[in-house]
Structure 1
């Protein structure tokens, strides 16, 4: 059961990134760009989680996963500060 949850989390974050990117291309709202980049990094983090816990069980990708999550939040925070009038 945990495997299904991990894969669904990856699929959801990938879908969110794709939808946000598509909306950014259509409207040009920069907050959508920062949100899409955040979800791309979250999708990468979820992909590493799937690889770490389901594929390569002997490895430990905890540090890269945490760094990707921190980078995702950092990108979104940077985007909100950079475009303060839109947030």
Structure 2
């Protein structure tokens, strides 16, 4: 059951990233770019969560998972702060 939830979270994050980046390609609103990149990082985090807890149980990937989430959220924070200045 947990594996299904991990996969659904991954698919949802990927769908959000694709929709946001597609919206950015059409409208060129920079907040859509930063949000799409954030969701891409969160999708990578969810995929690594699935790999870590379901596929490869012998290797601890928690630091890599945390790093991908941090990168995604940092991109969104950067976009929120610096796009307000322009």
Task: Provide the residue aligned with 1:41 in structure 2.
Answer: 41
Question: Unpaired segments of 5 or more residues in structure 1?
Answer: none
Q: Please give the alpha-carbon distance, in whole angstroms, between the structure 2 residues aligned to 1:2 and 1:84.
A: 40
Structure 2 Cα separation of the partners of residues 74 and 49 of structure 1: 19
How far residue 15 of structure 1 moved from its aligned partner, in angstroms, is 0.2
* 1:2 lines up with 2:2 in the alignment: yes
For 1:65 and 1:76, locate their aligned partners in 2 and report how far apart those are by CA, in whole Å. 17
Matched, 1:11 2:11: yes
RMSD between aligned residues: 1.2
Query: What is the match of residue 22 of structure 2?
Result: 22
How many pairs were matched up? 86
* TM-score for the superposition, normalised by structure 1: 0.94
The normalised TM-score by structure 2 is 0.95
- How far residue 85 of structure 1 moved from its aligned partner, in angstroms, is 5.8
Higher helix share: 2
After TM superposition, the runs of 4+ consecutive aligned structure 1 residues lying more than 6 A away are none
